[in-house]
Structure 1
Amino acid sequence: MTADHRPPMSKADYVYSVLLEEIRTARIPGGTALRAGAVARRLGVSVTPVREALRRLEKDRLISYEAHHGATVVELGDDALEEFYGLRAVVEGLGARLAAARITAGELAWLRDLHASMARDAEAGRHDRLGERSRDFHLRITDIGGPAFLGQQARAVRNSFPVPAAASQWLDPGQARRHLDAHAGVLAALERGDGEAAERVMAGHVREAGEYRRNA
């Protein structure tokens, strides 16, 4: 099915996508109560699609239900942070290893263009642009390596741990430089077709990000 012939997004899908993005970026922080009626009024829909979206978010373990309190955004602690980066390192590292054997010249060129654009933005001090584009970089590699399962799993893992835009590691110029160097290392390994190196660099890069977050 082409992009021009996709079915329209249902109201439940719309509510789910909005709430997922707001939770993922911590615009709705952990511990926040989600009232179906209030969400419905804000998004201009009835309560029914909101309830369906909340059930999906509960299945994603992003919200929980408590007696007399209703739906509440889950608060995650240090143990969850360690698990989050550890799981990302495994999934995205495997994606990079598999991608080394499957990547096409066009896909590699796309990643190199994205990396070059990110480097230019970092040099110009436009660090606020880098976080989401780094997400694109990582997920694109995982999609190439594991189009059947890994890409979907990588998104699910990333969506499970909210990171406020203001807390992005890419806002730290020194950390941004280290991340870009790691991306360059992953690209070099992919170009050589060296899956072992691609996995090692990607997994190490993610674990280093986790260590930085824990220390912060």
Structure 2
Amino acid sequence: MSGTEPRPPMSKADYVYSVLLDEIRSARIPGGTALRAGHVARRLGVSVTPVREALRRLEKDRLISYEAHHGATVVDLGEEALAEYYGLRAVVEGLGTRLAAARITPEELAELRELHAAMAADAAAGRNDRLGEQSRRLHLRIVDIGGPAFLGAHARAVRNSLPVPAEASLWLDDAQVKVQLDAHEGILAALESGDGDAAERIMIDHVRQAGEFRAHR
């Protein structure tokens, strides 16, 4: 299939899943919230059937659980899950960054530097609320370059497995912004020089620092 051919339309179940996944991942639907299929169906303008399919997928993702007499409830994860989440992210994203150092093209490096420059510009303008999503894009793009067959999908699965409230983002803390942008610059410099060891080390430290920040919020 060529890149110019249209993609098939998203099914209703895929639509419901994508909306709920984003709302859970961003903690707009916080842990402990009951999800009633009928209510979700009315809110999203679909029938109950695709909602139930989406809820089954979210259960498989371990983002919701079913309890007797309560139905589907968003999982409320604690400190141990938070530590596991950032530890796993550090391993997967660190490995992806190491592999990217050996295969990144000049065009891909230029793309990453463009993303980084956009972040620096937003930070300089005080638009910190944009930085979290931009950082996510940068990290996942690096992992996609390093591990297009498997790691990219794994990195997304890990990131989607634990809700991150918007207000918990370290990018909203002015004291953290320069530190994190410097880490990104260090990662890009290591990628440009093909130094996989340094790229992996900086990425791991960068992700772990984010975990430590979140743990003390």
TM-score by length of 2: 0.98
Structure 2 residue 127 is the aligned partner of structure 1 residue 126: yes
Q: Identity of aligned pairs, percent?
A: 78
Q: Which residue of 1 aligns with 2:173?
A: 172
- In structure 2, the gaps of 5 or more residues are none
How do 1:17-32 and structure 2 match up within 5 A?
A: 17-32=18-33
- In structure 1, the gaps of 5 or more residues are none
Q: Is the 8 A contact 2:170 2:176 kept in 1?
A: yes
* Counterpart Cα distance in 1 of 2:170 and 2:39: 33
Measured after TM superposition, the shift of residue 123 of structure 1 is: 1.3
* Counterpart Cα distance in 2 of 1:124 and 1:7: 39
* Counterpart Cα distance in 2 of 1:155 and 1:43: 24
* Counterpart Cα distance in 2 of 1:117 and 1:49: 38
Measured after TM superposition, the shift of residue 85 of structure 1 is: 0.4
Distance change (3 Å), C-alpha of 1:150 and 1:3: farther
Q: Is the 8 A contact 2:168 2:214 kept in 1?
A: no
Report SS of the residue matched to 1:5: coil
Measured after TM superposition, the shift of residue 6 of structure 1 is: 0.8
Q: Which residue of 1 aligns with 2:153?
A: 152
Which is worse superposed, 48-57 or 168-177? 168-177
How do 1:1-216 and structure 2 match up within 5 A?
A: 1=1, 2=3, 4-216=5-217
* Counterpart Cα distance in 2 of 1:155 and 1:80: 17
Structure 2 counterpart of 1:115, one-letter code: H
* Counterpart Cα distance in 2 of 1:200 and 1:86: 13
Which of structure 1's runs of 4+ aligned residues deviate more than 4 A? none
Q: CA RMSD in A?
A: 0.8
Structure 2 counterpart of 1:173, one-letter code: D
Aligned length, in residue pairs: 216
* Counterpart Cα distance in 2 of 1:130 and 1:194: 26
Report SS of the residue matched to 2:122: helix
Structure 2 counterpart of 1:79, one-letter code: E
* Counterpart Cα distance in 2 of 1:145 and 1:123: 30
Measured after TM superposition, the shift of residue 5 of structure 1 is: 1.5
* Counterpart Cα distance in 2 of 1:173 and 1:142: 27
Structure 2 counterpart of 1:129, one-letter code: R
> Residue deviations 1:140-189, cap 9 Å, x none?
00000000110000001001111111221100011111110100000000
* Counterpart Cα distance in 2 of 1:179 and 1:105: 23
